[in-house]
Structure 1
Amino acid sequence: MTLLSIASSLKSEEHIPGYIMRLAQDNGFTRIEQLFYQTELSALMHGKGKAFDTACLKFGVHLAHVKLENAVNVKQVRVCPACIAEQGYIKAKWHSLTQYHCSIHHLALIDYCDACQMPLHWNIPLLLARCSNPQCSCPLPLNPSLMSEEDHHYALDW
């Protein structure tokens, strides 16, 4: 068994993949691949099945009470860099299939790096509001484009 020395708690609005990254970071890892095998990581991110239960037990992670909603995207990362900089975690609601903006900052959520034009991936640099591409690691913009008033109303109507 590979119990972690620091067992952080899941925050009430935190997305499971973001929690996994924060847990790895709290235990001194710089990339989640240093802690989890791909199969364990996939099981933890999808939040279900025997592989999920086994991975939770192996690392002493208590997520049995948490289940991902059906309409949540775990493959694509979408974030509000301003929220991450302020709060230090990734919110589950950003990954709802109908969520495209931050309700606090009224900014469009981002899913790629402006500097390298690569899609963001689930990895620890995101918790520092940085690009997850190891060749880039540029800071993500804390003020990505504001949503137009029309886009904002359209998003609210969903």
Structure 2
Amino acid sequence: RFGVVRLTSKLIDGTFPDYSRVIPVGNDRIMKVDASAFSAAVDRVSTIASEKSRSVKMVLKPGVLTLSASNTDASSATEELEVSYDGPEMEIGFNARYLLDIAGQVNSDMVEFALADQGSPSLVRAPGDEASLFVLMPMRV
């Protein structure tokens, strides 16, 4: 009870799901990027993305991240960012809304992506911050 407000809930007989099973391990392709530059670039590129999918393609090469989006009207947008990455070239797609939501929650100047391949979940966090961890599922682009 909070003043005149009364809160009622039901208890569910069951166990809480083991969330640690969905956190991927072994994602050894690490990319670090400036959080504000990344967020701004995703925001600009995603204005072109189709409303249905809101997908943004990320192409990673050593030192460079290329973000791109297109729609059915044959419009497209591309942005390049300098990143810390020295792994093999990789293409992966994500929902722009999820990328922006995560970038807005990271309390750091940098965002770190731990990637495995284009079909596996990715980990996103602030470097050195073990308190926040985001699991992001890729999209086909």
* TM-score of the pair, normalised by structure 2: 0.29
Return the index of the structure with the highest Cα Rg: 2
Structure (1/2) with the larger helix percentage: 1
* TM-score of the pair, normalised by structure 1: 0.27
- Which structure would you say has the larger RCO, counting Cα contacts within 8 Å and 6 or more residues apart? 2
Structure (1/2) with the larger strand percentage: 2
